[in-house]
Structures are given as C-alpha cells and as structure tokens.
Chain A
Amino acid sequence: MWSYVLRRVLIAILVIFAASFLVYVLAANSGDPLEELRGSTAPNKEALIAARIQLLHLDIAPPLRYFIWLGGVLKIFIGQLDLGATLTGSAVTTVLSQSMWSTLQLVSIATVLAILFGVSIGMISALRQYSGFDYSVTLIAFFFFALPTFWVGQLLKLNIAIAFNDFLASPQIPPVWIAVIALVAAFVWASAMGGQLKRFAINFGLAGVLTAGILIYVNLTDSIRHPNLGPIWIGIIGIAAAVVITQLTTGLSNRRALFSALTVALLGAILWWPVQFAFYYLAEWWAMFGLLLVALAIGALVGWLWGGDDRGVSIRAAMITAFISSLLVLVDRILGAWPDYVSNTGGRPISTIGSETPGLNGSIWLTSVDSFAHILLPTVTIMLISLASYSRYSRGSLLEVMSMDYVRTARAKGLNERTVIMRHAFRNALIPIATIVAFDLGGLIGGAVITETVFAWRGMGTMFVQALKVVDLNSIMGVFLVTSIFALLFNLLADITYSVLDPRIRVS
C-alpha cells in the first residue's frame, strides 16, 4: 500500500513538471506583460519597462525562463519555496496562501454537497425509473447543466439575494407561495416515495399538509426574524431522523437499533439545556469539536447498552443519530445569532460579494452566520454545475448494478427490497462515481474561476483571471501548481477509495 502511494506520488511529481512546462510556455506566449506600461505617459516609462523586464526575466526565452521558475519551486526542498513575484511585486507565495484557502473552502463544500444531493437524487430516480420524478429530475438536471455558470450566478443574486433581503423587510410568506411550495414539496415527496395511486395520494396529501403547516407555523411565530429550534423541535426532528436512519441501516424491525436511535434523539433534546452553558463559556471551535466527540461517545454507549446480541448495528444507528442531533443543537445556537447579524448588516444579510462582512468582530456564532450568508450563493452556483452529472452518473450506475446477477440472486433469496438496495446495490454503484468525482474536481475548480469572478470572491480563480489578463506568468503558474497538485491528490484518493469499496481491486 505505502510503496504504491509513494510510487504514485513520485510519478505525480514528474507529471506536474511536464504539465507545468506546457502551461508555462503556452501562457508565456499568450500576451504581452508590458502592455499596460506601454500605454502609460509616465516620464520614466522606459525605466519602468526596463525594470519589469529585468524583474521577470522577460529577456530570456520562455522555455529557458521556465527553469528559473522551476529553480524557485525546487527550493521547497530546502524549505524556501519561491514562486517568483507578481507584476505588482508581491511574492506569489504570499498571495497564493491567502487566496488558496478561500477557493478550496468553496470547492470542497460545494463538492460534498453536490455528491450528497447528486447521488441521492440520482439513486432515487434510478429506483423510480421512468416515473414522473425521474423525468422531472432529468429535465431539471439537464437544464441547470445547460445554463452557463455566470448566468446562474447572476440569477441567484437577483432572485435569491436581493429578493430575500427585500422580503426580510416584512417577513411573512404570502399564502399563494405557501400553496405553491406545499404543492411542489408534495409532488417531490410523493413521487420519490413511489407506489400506486392510493399510496401516492396519501403521501401527496401528507407531505403537502405538513409543508403548509410548517410554513404557517413559521409565519405565525415570526421565525424568519427570530429563527430557533429549541429543545422541542430538536426532539421532533431527532426522532424523525432516528426512524429514517434505522429504516435505512437496519430496518425498523430491529427494535433494539430503533430504540437506541430514539433514546439518543430524546437525549439530544434533553441535553440541549446544559449544552447552552458550554456554548456560552466555551465559544471556540475546538470546544465544539470536543462536544461532538462526547455526543458520539454517548451515542455509542446507548447503542451498546440497548444492543443485545447485535451491538454493532445499534451502536451505528445511535452514533449517526447522535451526530445529527449534535448538529441540530449547534445549528440552533448559530440561528440564535441571526437577528443580531441581520441588524448588523442593515437588514440585508445575504451578500452578493466577497467572503465576509468587513470589520465584523463577534462571537463564533455571528461569524458562522456571516460565512454562511456569503458562501451560500457561490456554493449553490458551483454545486448546480456538478449536480447534474453526479445525478446522471449515479442513476446510470445504480441501474446497471440493479440488473446484475447478484442482485437478482439477492432478490431470489427473499431479502427485502431495502436490504437488496442498501447492502448489495448501493455500495457497488458507488465505485464508478469515485472516479467521476476525481475527474470532476478539475471542472469544479474551473467553475470556481467563473463563480469567484461573479461573486467578487478573492480566491485563486480571480487571481488567475486577473493574472492572465496582464500575462502575470508567475501568478498563473502559482494557481496552476496548486490546482494540479489537488487534482492529482484527488485522483490518488479515488484509486484508494476504489480498493476500499471494491475488495477485488488491490493497489500494489
């Protein structure tokens, strides 16, 4: 295993050298780094041009200049990585170290969400192949795929940010909207659940009434201005989650697992109160992480106590429920900062530019809301790009697996549908998706380039575009180096994931 990884890394380094040479020569030939100076009327123009030529070695032909750049990169082995200077004279390493994280943050959150939503949507539409749900999802997925990214960004700004912020002035959802949302939600749920007309109608009615009820409740309690969950809702949602998780992992017939999960959900609601003190006195992220570990431990303990013979299953269900309950409690606390944040931003919380509100110094709850309000739209934009392909690939993948002989065998054995899908089909359907995710990372970073420009998000994407416009070679190469290292890393991870998901494949 380790020798395999080592060999891959060594090859990867060689590959990066080759690719960087290619990009360097291409980029060097793409324009004139002196363009802006040539249009200047400054009296010392000649001197400025000469200085820049000397600074960036423009008198040396690109293929040779590459090795000067490479020399700086190789200094990483003596601990002084040097990626050269930008056109404005700052070190590329400094600029990159700042922009790198905002892009990776954006891309990683979007990727995780896109995988979660894409794979679940794709799998549901595979299970309901040629249903209304399947056709709607296909059409919507293709539609979003066909929209150019910058268009999506602009649409989101106008229709989500500005519209929502205007709406906040008097946050009451109009009855027409309640009806529309309820109908759409009812359709989605009922179609996803499947079944014959009677079951469909029941599901449709239930989902519709439930959605409308929640929205009316939100209106009545003015929850948009003062959102909070409180122990009651944490309990209710926790119990619902417990039931769903048990159903998906072991089936509701396993009473011990069900009771473990339910106990944890209830504990979550009860522990809400003491945890508030922890939130007050220990408002730091490491403390939050510690609390999460404690919650998982409690989950494990509950599962072990209820477990009986088949402890592992109960522990798993309980721990997943514990994780969800903890998140709920945390979300509840962060929501508590919402009114404060809204007043801090002059009543217009959802932002269309940048990654944070300047000069907002507050608790971690306030800054969490701030990050959320800024990252929301760019993330959704990037997510929508890859959502389509993930849902299509996982649909196809699951369909293929479902027609395999071993699935037929499993059915023939008399296993119920849940076990067949979750145990036999799901896991195998994930294997090809791992490759797609690795391939897609390059596309995501590309999407980030556009998204960052639209949302004035100062990451590697903006850096790259600005750099390419003025042929700032060192900046271009810096961005390229980081992205390609990450692309290779993900490829490697995909290969390792392979061996985890598919025992037949051995990496050596």
Chain B
Amino acid sequence: MTNPLAAIPPEGSGEIITIEQQETAGLSQGAIVRRRFFRHVGAMVSLGVVLLIVIIAFSSVGFNIFGWKIPGWWPYDYTNYFPIERPGGAPTWDLPFSFGSHPFGQDDIGHDVFAQVMRGTQQSIILMVIYGGVSGVIGVAVGAVAGFFRGRVDAVLMRLTDVIIIVPVVLLGAVIGRTYGSLGVFVLALTLGAFGWAILARLVRGEFLSLREREFVDAARVAGASNARIIFRHILPNTAGVLIVNVSLTMSAAILLEAALSYLGFGINPPDVSLGQILAHYQSAFATRPWLFWWPGILLIIIVLAINFIGDGLRDAFDPRQRRMPARPGPYRELAQIIGTPFRRRTSTVAADSPEETRD
C-alpha cells in the first residue's frame, strides 16, 4: 500500500508545497496536471510497474511486428514443448536465486510457463491498448460530433449509441469472440473495441454540450475559427480529463472482459495465449499445480490494479476542483508524532524535497 503520509505535508511546516497554491504563480494547466499526477504516489508506482511488465513481457519472448520477428532473451518459446524437468512440471526456481531452466514451471506436455505467461501478458496488453485506442477514437468522434452539432445529427448518433449500449458487453463480446477469436488478438481487439465506445461517446457528448456554450468558444467563433478548429483546438483539450480517465478504466475492463470470454471459451484461441485464457484453462489447477494458475493470476491482477491506480491518479490530477484538504491530521499521524522519530524523519524528508521540486 502506498504511504499516505508521504503525500501529506506536515502540519504547520510553513513551506509552499501544495500545487494548488501555485496556480496563482502562473503554471499552465498541463504543468499543473503533470505535477499533480507525479505527486500521486499510487499512480507513479503503478506506472513504473506497468512499464516494467511491458518491457519484460515484450523483451523476454520477443514479438512479431508486420512479419518481422524480433527475438527475445528468453531461451524457450511459448509454442514448443520441452522435456519435463521436475515431477508434474513444478517450477525449477529454488529460492532465492537458483532459477533453473523453467523458473515458472511447465504444463502437462512441457510448455515453459514463463514463456507462455509472458506471451499471454503481451497479448493482454496489446488487446488492452488497441481496445482502448479504438473505443477511444470512435467514442470521441461520435460524442464530439453529436455534442457539437446537436439537433438531428445528435439524435441519430445517440440512437446509434443506444443500439450499442443496450447490448450487454459480455453477450456481444462472446458472440464476437466466438466468431473472431480464431483470428488473433488484433482482430479480436479491433472488433471488441468497435463496440466498446458507447459510454465514452455519451460522456464526451455531455462535456461538449456544456463546453460549447462557454464564452471561450464564442470568442473563437467570433474570431473566425472553423468548426474543426473549435472542436479540436478549443473544446477537445478541455475534455481531456474525462477522456483519459474513462479510457484508462475501459482498458483495464478490457483485460477482464477477455478473461471472462476465455472462461466461457470464446476468447483468444489456442495455440496463442492470453492471461485470461491461461487462467481460465487452469482454474482447477488452483490447488494442485499452483504455478499454472498463480503466475498469470497475479500478473493479471497487478496489471488491472495498476491501470486503475493510474486512472485514479489521472482523475485527481485533471479535476481542477478537487483539492487536497490536508487540514486535519488523522489519528495515525497523531500517533506517529507521539511515537516519534522514525515517522517524523520521513515526513521531514518529503518536506525537504519539496522546495527543490518547486524550482523547475
């Protein structure tokens, strides 16, 4: 868990440290958001974890890009099988540092679980990114056009949105997975994403409806800006908060959607793997061969958790109204002050760092 203390300045330290207080100092909106986001310890840690996972997953077993095969540093690949080294395929990882040849273990026929889990992570991440991208682009386009032009265009687009929104996503996903699951992760993610934009479109439309009435839009129009310019340069940047937060949550939901589809048998098809698919396949290995279930399980949870925390950090960062209210210290801080030194030293470190941060 993140340490709540690290983010809260000690009472009465007298330093100028809350970013809100600097708004008057003439920081741009982007700078404020960036600063706030960097301050969100949970989000920062999560960002680091996600980057690490992405790097390991893609570098270890390599990947194909437009037919170019980029090899990885891991000696085994996820499709082939190898002689089973330990009974039942148990991991060869002896704590702490003797990894052996199959540290994550092997499955029934000798696949290397590390290679499979890494490939699965790749696939899940690709699915997540494409799904988020496709649904984000369509959602923004539909929402922006509907909210900006209103009237008949709006009515037609919103009814179209209704058509998509009333179909429970797992039902639609299952039908799509049953049809396109065999064509690989790209096609699956594209088709799923093509039906995953409805809620975002509604949110963006709502933002546009209220923003287009604002003075700065009138000003731009009077200045002779085209509709496209108003949409892209004036209104869209102001919806970034809603957009980014929602897309990040949609992305984490996409991983879980794929896991659910795999459980039902409509997800990514073998021989390719995804985290959800490995997990669903080995759900009964829970107790008997824990390495088959827990590695993908833990990774899946970490990724979803991290994406959610990042989304949470972004929400806090983008919301101009939401300020930190560190007025009253809670019982733990009080307790910490009573107990004394270790905690106090830590908080004072934060305080000492802060002025440096304000300099750049």
Contact = CB atoms under 8 A, between A and B. Distances in A.
Q: Do chains A and B touch in the complex (CB under 8 A)?
A: yes
Contact of B335 (A30, A31, A197, A487): A197
A147 B165 CA distance: 24
Main secondary structure of the interface of A (DSSP, over half): helix
Contacts of A12: 162
Given A139-B1, A399-B322, A483-B168, A148 B259 contact: yes
Given A148-B260, A151-B283, A446 B171 contact: yes
Given A16-B166, A142-B308, A146-B305, A154 B300 contact: no
Nearest to A134: B4
Interface in A448-502: 449-450, 453, 464-465, 468-469, 476, 479-480, 483-484, 487-488, 491
A11 B162 CA distance: 10
A403 B323 contact: yes
B132 interface: no
Interface residues of B, number: 59
Contacts of B309: 142
Contact of B165 (A22, A442, A468): A442
B163 A15 contact: yes
A356 B323 CA distance: 51
Interface stretch (B25-33, B69-77, B142-150, B261-269): B261-269
Interface string A129-145: 11110011011001101
A354 interface: no
B279 interface: yes
Interface stretch (B55-63, B105-113, B172-180): B172-180
Nearest to B206: A435
B5 to A, nearest CB: 10
B325 interface: yes
A151 to B, nearest CB: 7
Contact of B260 (A19, A146, A150, A491): A150
A440 to B, nearest CB: 10
B326 interface: yes
Given A14-B159, A146-B305, A197-B335, A446 B260 contact: yes
Interface residues of A, number: 66
Given A150-B283, A196-B334, A197-B338, A27 B175 contact: yes
A15 B168 CA distance: 14
Contacts of B175: 23, 26-27, 30, 468, 476
Contacts of A30: 175, 178-179
Contacts of A18: 159, 163
B312 interface: yes
Given A130-B8, A148-B300, A468-B178, A200 B331 contact: yes
A19 B166 contact: yes
A148 B256 contact: yes
A396 B322 CA distance: 9
A29 interface: yes
Which of A31, A130, A445 has the largest count of B CB atoms less than 10 A from its CB? Answer: A130
A149 B332 contact: no
B288 interface: no
Contact of A450 (B159, B260, B322, B335): B260
A207 to B, nearest CB: 14
Contacts of A323: none
Contacts of B93: none
A400 B165 CA distance: 27
Interface string A17-51: 01100110011011100000000000000000000
Given A26-B175, A135-B1, A468 B266 contact: yes
A464 B119 CA distance: 30
B321 interface: yes
Nearest to A145: B308
Contact of A19 (B167, B280, B304): B167
B167 A480 contact: yes
Contacts of A447: 170
A195 interface: yes
Given A151-B279, A197-B338, A15 B166 contact: yes
A16 B164 CA distance: 10
Interface string B328-355: 0011101100100000000000000000
B330 A23 contact: no
Given A148-B300, A195-B331, A442-B167, A154 B159 contact: no
A132 B4 contact: yes
Given A148-B263, A195-B331, A439-B199, A400 B168 contact: no
B4 A135 contact: yes
A196 B163 contact: no
B301 interface: yes
Max chain B Cβ within 10 angstroms of own Cβ: one of A14, A146, A148: A148
Given A147-B301, A197-B331, A400-B321, 6 more contacts: A16-B166, A26-B175, A128-B330, A148-B280, A195-B331, A479-B171
Interface of A: 11-12, 14-16, 18-19, 22-23, 26-27, 29-31, 128-132, 135-136, 138-139, 142-143, 145-151, 154, 190, 194-197, 200-201, 392, 396, 399-400, 403, 439, 442-443, 445-447, 449-450, 453, 464-465, 468-469, 476, 479-480, 483-484, 487-488, 491
Interface of B: 1-2, 4, 7-8, 159, 162-176, 178-179, 199, 252, 256, 259-260, 263-266, 276, 279-280, 283, 286, 297, 300-301, 304-305, 308-309, 312, 315, 319, 321-326, 330-332, 334-335, 338
